[in-house]
Chains A and B, each alone.
Chain A
Amino acid sequence: MFGKLARKNLRPGRVPLTERPDEELLALFSSGEADAFGVLLERYRRPIFNFVARHSGDAPRAEDLTQEVFLRAIQRAEQFRGESKVSTWLYKIARNLCIDHRRRMRHRGHASLDAPTNGDGPSLGERLPSDARGAHESLVDEDLRARILAAVEALPDDQREVFLLRQIENMPFGEIADVVGASENTVKSRMRYALLRLREALSEYQDYASELR
């Protein structure tokens, strides 16, 4: 159904692919336009990667898991009915993968790879290359980042996923509710608890936080 819609109304070439909404891109892809998926990949590779890296608790394997998210999206593109947004659909796939991965890790008794590798050293997650980390970061920033990562990792799963979706993707609570399968008020409540926990875990930065506000 979706493919027919794409063939009739969404012929490529009229509007540049990069300016088309996600739903059109997915429809174009389902009708055989591989480049349309390339645009979707470009839009979501970074937020999905960061969501997966923090939610799975296995930053070193985040790239593999992110790749898996997009491969599953490719396989299931034809099943997308347009009942939710493409972003919501992608995050649902990512969330399910992360939950499975965490479960597998617990089953195998792996320690979280976001934990420091040896004593007080940086975690594997922190050692990932990052363009966002400038060379002139202050020591406070570096320390704060490490502490935030640890605090986020320590959040309960249901609070962490809500916090990440809101913080990374700036997703409205209604959509987050769709992704995690809970009511909007429940999602807001989880977000509130997550923020209060974070604030407690980072209490020594309270003055700094007040300056940042």
Chain B
Amino acid sequence: MTTKDENLELLELALGELSPEAEAELRLRVDASPELAAELDALKDALALARHLPVDEPSRGMDAAVMAAARRKAAEAKPARGDEEETTGFWPRVSRFLRDAVNGPQAAMATITLLVVAVGLWFVPTAHRDADDAPMRISDAVHPPEDAEPVLEPATPAVEKPETAVGAAAPVDLEDAEKRAPTRSRKESATPKAAAEAKRSVDVGASGAAPAKDRMLSTAPASSDTMVERRMDAEGAAAPRTATSSAARRDARALELAPSAGAAAPSGMVAESAEMAPPPAETTSRVGELERAFRAGDHTATITLARAILSQPRASETGSRAQVLDYLARAERARGNCAEAIRQYERLLETYPAYARRAGVEAELADCRARVTK
């Protein structure tokens, strides 16, 4: 019978880790004991077979994201290293100034400033023009001025795409907008089509708003995607709860386009709770299909599949939307379409701040931005 120490010595012998003296001494014992010899053979057999363990190679795509993060981190540490460098003499100072100007924060600040000015110049006239289409402010809707006329806006996008509606509900001053283009809104509201759309919108808003919110709060096993989107539904439609009388319908119509702070759950909390919720089997299989396409390097199929899943009506969507967005962004990145990849990565981080692979997403996003800048 072998002892525990003997077993460990046999392992070391099989691995060739014993000292020559210990090995010679153990070999004498092994020769004298069939049991020890059998154990040694078994270990050697297993080690011989274990050498066939496959060795795989990761793709180079992984390295780019890691190195982008490494460069960012190293750039943070660089100023500290500068303390040790020579600071005396004219040329070292000039050299350091030039190097810092090119690589340091000055260049970045100058670029950002130029970008802000450029975007500002481009955006200001557009903002004025867009004010014509802006929805009414919440405060105006709840307490309308006595002389205010009913202003109805086309509501279809808000009903069909709550996410868009939330995004579009920037608080633009209605009075200001009316001063600029008062006739257009009134004219539109007078047409039968606009009136019909407005009525449809009010009906949906008034009847569907409160249940949408309640559903969101009571559906525990829903995924993050569903929950966030339901939150968006609730944001878009919760306000018309107040629209119970015909006099309030007009206000409700306008409020439909504006986000209601009361209905919104903290996005971090929503995403966190969703991380814990297991996605239903149907979604798992579709996401699995998407994942296989991505792993197989079929980025076109990945993008097509991802977009198909994302285009599903929200009511039937059951989860893993964050993962789908992730694969979509990565496939776009792999195809070299950095602009689209950036858009999807940003959308992912914004919608699902607690996404499990957040660090990886941020690194890949930084890599894409660096590539676009180049």
User: Residues on A close to B: CB < 8 A?
Assistant: 3, 7-8, 29-34, 37-38, 41, 45-46, 49-50, 53-54, 59-60, 62-64, 66-68, 70-72, 74-75, 77-78, 108-109, 124, 126-133, 141, 144-145, 148-149, 152, 163, 167-168, 185, 188-189, 191-192, 195-196, 198-199, 202, 205-206, 208-210, 212-213
Q: How many residues of B contact A (CB 8 A)?
A: 55
Please report which residues of chain B, range 12-53, place their CB below 8 angstroms from some CB of chain A when the two chains form the complex: 12, 14, 41-53
Q: Is B115 an interface residue (CB 8 A)?
A: no
A7→B63 CA distance, assembly (Å): 26
What CA separation (Å) do A129 and B69 show in the bound complex?
26
B256 at the interface (CB under 8 A from A): no
Is B11 an interface position by the 8 A CB rule? yes
| Contact for A74 among B7, B44, B66, CB less than 8 A | B66
- Segment among B206-214, B344-352, B356-364 that sits at the interface with chain A: B356-364
| Contacting residue for B363 out of A71, A188, A206, CB 8 A | A71
| Contact yes or no, A31 B80, CB < 8 A | yes
Q: Let me know if A67 and B278 touch, CB within 8 A.
A: no
Bound form: Cα–Cα A70–B67 in Å: 9
Residue in A closest to B275 when the chains form the complex, CB atoms: A104
Compute how far the CA of A34 lies from the CA of B75 in the bound complex, rounded to whole angstroms. 8
Within 8 A of A (CB), among B63-103: 63, 65-67, 69-71, 73-78, 80-81, 83-84
Q: Is A67 within 8 A of B43, CB to CB?
A: no
Q: A199, B42: Cβ atoms under 8 Å?
A: yes
With contacts A71-B66, A75-B73, A127-B296 known, what are 16 further pairs, Cβ within 8 A?
Answer: A7-B83, A29-B74, A30-B77, A33-B74, A50-B56, A59-B56, A63-B62, A74-B70, A149-B53, A189-B7, A189-B8, A192-B43, A209-B44, A209-B45, A209-B48, A212-B49
Contact B58 A41 (CB under 8 A): no
The answer to whether A66 and B57 have CB atoms under 8 Å apart is no
Quick check: is B128 within 8 A (CB to CB) of the other chain?
no
Residue from B54, B57, B70 in contact with A149 in the complex, judged by beta carbons closer than 8 Å: B54
For B77, the chain A residues whose CB sits under 8 A away are 3, 30-32, 78
- Which of A50, A74, A189 has the most C-beta atoms of chain B within 10 angstroms of its own C-beta? A74
Given contacts A74-B66, A74-B73, contact A7 B81 (CB under 8 A): yes
Task: Give the distance in Å from the alpha carbon of A198 to the alpha carbon of B11 in the complex.
Answer: 14
Question: In the complex, A41→B64 CA distance in Å?
Answer: 11
Interface pair A192/B49, CB less than 8 Å apart = no
Out of B8, B50, B360, name the residue touching A167 (CB < 8 Å): B50
Q: Bound state CA distance, A33 and B70, in angstroms?
A: 9
A30 vs B84: C-alpha distance in the bound complex, in angstroms?
15
Q: Identify whether the interface residues of B are mostly helix, strand, loop, or mixed.
A: helix
Residue of B50, B54, B78, B360 with most chain A CB atoms under a 10 A cut-off: B54
Q: Are the C-beta atoms of B359 and A46 separated by less than 8 Å?
A: no
B183-241 residues at the A interface, CB under 8 angstroms: none
B56 adjacent to A132 (CB under 8 Å)? yes
Instruction: Write out the residue numbers on chain B whose beta carbons fall within 8 Å of the beta carbon of A34.
Output: 67, 70-71, 73-75
CB-CB < 8 A to A127: which residues of B? 295-296
Query: Which residues of A lie under 8 Å from residue B41 when comparing CB positions?
Result: 210
Tell me the B residues contacting A by CB distance below 8 Å: 4, 7-8, 10-12, 14, 41-59, 61-63, 65-67, 69-71, 73-78, 80-81, 83-84, 278, 291-292, 295-297, 357, 359-360, 363
Contact A53 B70 (CB under 8 A): no
- CB–CB A53/B56 < 8 A: yes
* Shortest distance between the CB of A128 and any CB in chain B (Å): 5
Q: How far is the CA of A80 from the CA of B295 in the complex (A)?
A: 34
In contact, B67 and A195 (Cβ under 8 angstroms)? no
**A213:B56 contact, CB within 8 angstroms:** no
Enumerate chain B residues within 8 angstroms of A109, measured Cβ to Cβ. 278
Best-surrounded residue of B10, B47, B52, B62 (most CB of chain A within 10 A): B52
A60: B residues at CB distance < 8 A: 291-292, 295
Chain B, Cβ-Cβ closest to A59: B56
A31 → B minimal CB distance (Å): 5
B363 touches A67 (CB 8 A): yes
Q: Which 10 A-B pairs have the closest CB atoms?
A: A34-B74, A195-B46, A212-B48, A32-B78, A209-B45, A199-B46, A32-B77, A49-B58, A37-B70, A34-B71
Q: Which residue of A lies closest to B360 (CB)?
A: A67
Q: Is the CB of A63 within 8 A of B8?
A: no
Cα distance, A75 to B66, chains bound together (Å):
11
Q: Is the CB of B49 within 8 A of A191?
A: no
| A66 with B8, Cβ < 8 A, contacts A109-B278, A212-B48, A212-B51 known | no
Chain A residues with CB under 8 A of B47:
195
Q: Find out whether the CB atom of A195 lies under 8 angstroms from the CB atom of B11.
A: yes
